[in-house]
Amino acid sequence: MNNRNYAYIVSLAAGGILAAGLFFYYTAGHEYIVIPGCVIYRTTGIWCPACGGTRSVLALLRRDLIQSFLYHPIVPYSVFLYTAYILEETRERLCRSTKRVPLQFWRGCVWIGLVILAANTVLRNIFLFCSQN
């Protein structure tokens, strides 16, 4: 199995597992599962790279894209990127397309996501620090 097929299969499996978990939480789990606050924020007073992610996912489930982006921009970016990747790879397989989006493009999108994650973390903590002084 080549890298491209392996990445596609793993992406489908991970997306299915995540979708099943979100479906359970959204339909019945929120009554039984309490999501704790961020341990890093409670301990240090500094926002970690994941702070706001849970609220962003829940806002996205409510179809509030703007609020989701404001809570944590990497969540809607990741959902968009994942959806685009799966749709494009599925199209290529169903149509037996010879024109494929290079894997380097998708890797570049991952790097952009890492930059968004880092910038979000740094800027939020700068604003946090400035608001406390």
Instruction: Note the pLDDT of residue 79.
Output: 94
Tell me 37's DSSP state: P
Tens-binned pLDDT, residue by residue, of the chain (133 aa): 688 888 889 999 999 998 898 888 778 777 777 778 888 888 998 889 988 998 898 898 889 999 999 999 999 999 999 999 999 989 988 888 888 888 889 899 999 999 999 999 999 999 888 887 6
Task: Please give the Cα distance from 103 to 117 (Å, whole number).
Answer: 21
Task: Please give the Cα distance from 66 to 68 (Å, whole number).
Answer: 5
Residue pair 35/54 in contact (Cβ under 8 Å)? The answer is yes
**Residue 124 structure tokens:** 């939020």
Task: Please give the Cα distance from 78 to 50 (Å, whole number).
Answer: 13
Residue pair 70/120 in contact (Cβ under 8 Å)? The answer is no
Instruction: Note the pLDDT of residue 3.
Output: 80
Give residues with Cβ within 8 angstroms of 43, minimum separation 6.
Answer: none
